[in-house]
Chain A
Amino acid sequence: MIFTIAGKELRSMFTSPLAWVILAFLQFVLALIFLKQVDGFLMVQAQLARTPNAPGLTEVAIVPMFGVASMVLLMSVPLLTMRLVSEERRNQTMALLMSAPVSMTQIVLGKYLAMVVFLLLISSLISLMALSMLAGGAIDTGLLAANLIGLFLLGCSFAAIGLFISCLTTHPVVAAVLSLAVFLGLWIINIAATDPESWLHLLSLLKHFEGFMNGSVAVTDLIFFGLLIVTFVILSIRRLDSDRLHA
Chain B
Amino acid sequence: MSNTAGQEITLAASGLSRRYGTNLAVDDISLDLRRGEIVGLLGPNGAGKTTTMKMITGNLAPSAGSVSICGVDLIEKPTAAKTRIGYLPEVPPLYKDLRVDEYLRLAGRLHKVAKPELGRAVDRAKLRSGLSDMGRKLIGSLSKGYQQRVGIAQAIIHDPDVIILDEPTVGLDPNQIREIRALIRELGNEHSVILSTHILPEVEAICDRVQILHRGKVVFADAISGLRQFRGGHSLQVSLRRPPPQEELSTAVAPARAEKVGDCVFRVMSQPGHDPTDQLVRASVERDWGLYQLSPAQASVEEVFVQLTRQDTANPDTAQAPAGASPDPEATT
Contact residues of A with B, CB < 8 Å? 1, 4-5, 8, 11-12, 15-16, 91-103, 244-245, 247
Contact = CB atoms under 8 A, between A and B. Distances in A.
A245 B61 contact: yes
8 contacts: A11-B98, A12-B95, A91-B96, A96-B154, A98-B59, A99-B85, A99-B87, A101-B110
Contacts of B154: 96
Contacts of A97: 110
A98 B58 contact: yes
Given A244-B59, A247-B60, A96 B97 contact: no
A95 B59 contact: yes
A103 B79 CA distance: 7
Contacts of B98: 11-12, 15
A-B pairs with lowest CB-CB distance, top 8: A96-B93, A100-B110, A101-B82, A101-B79, A93-B93, A99-B87, A92-B91, A95-B89
Which residue of A11, A91, A99 has the most chain B CB atoms within 10 A of its CB atom? A99
A108 to B, nearest CB: 15
A94 B93 contact: yes
A244 B110 contact: no
Interface residues of B, number: 29
Interface in B222-278: none
A97 B109 CA distance: 11
Interface majority SS (helix, strand, loop, mixed), chain B: loop
A100 B78 CA distance: 9
Contacts of B85: 99
A102 B97 contact: no
Interface string B97-127: 1100010001101111000000000000000
Contact of A4 (B58, B93, B97, B106): B106
A26 B186 CA distance: 54
B197 interface: no
A1 B110 contact: yes
Interface of B: 57-61, 78-83, 85, 87, 89, 91, 93-98, 102, 106-107, 109-112, 154
Contacts of B78: 101, 103
Which residue of A8, A12, A101 has the most chain B CB atoms within 10 A of its CB atom? A101
Contacts of B102: 11
B117 to A, nearest CB: 15
Contacts of A103: 78-79
A101 B59 contact: no
A101 B112 contact: yes
A160 to B, nearest CB: 23
A160 B5 CA distance: 49
B107 A96 contact: yes
B60 A99 contact: no
A92 B97 CA distance: 14
B78 to A, nearest CB: 7
Which residue of A5, A16, A93, A95 has the most chain B CB atoms within 10 A of its CB atom? A95
Contacts of A99: 57-59, 82, 85, 87, 89
Contacts of A100: 82, 107, 110-111
Contacts of B91: 92
Nearest to A247: B60
B79 A93 contact: no
Contacts of A102: 79, 82, 110
A247 B25 CA distance: 12
Contacts of B93: 91-96
Nearest to A4: B109
Given A4-B110, A11-B102, A12-B95, 9 more contacts: A1-B109, A1-B110, A15-B98, A92-B91, A93-B95, A99-B59, A100-B82, A102-B110, A247-B60
A16 B97 CA distance: 8
Nearest to B82: A101
A41 B110 CA distance: 53
Nearest to B77: A101
Nearest to A3: B109
Nearest to A104: B78
A245 B78 CA distance: 14
Which residue of B85, B93, B97 has the most chain A CB atoms within 10 A of its CB atom? B93
Given A101-B79, A102-B79, A96 B59 contact: no
Contacts of A96: 93, 107, 110, 154
A99 to B, nearest CB: 4
A97 B94 CA distance: 11
B74 to A, nearest CB: 11
Contacts of B87: 95, 99
B86 to A, nearest CB: 8
Nearest to A98: B59
Contacts of A12: 95, 97-98
A93 B97 CA distance: 12
A4 B110 CA distance: 7
A94 B94 CA distance: 10
Nearest to B95: A93
Nearest to B151: A96
B60 A93 contact: no
A1 B80 CA distance: 14
Nearest to B62: A245
Given A98-B59, A99-B57, A15 B97 contact: yes
Nearest to A15: B97
A244 B80 contact: no
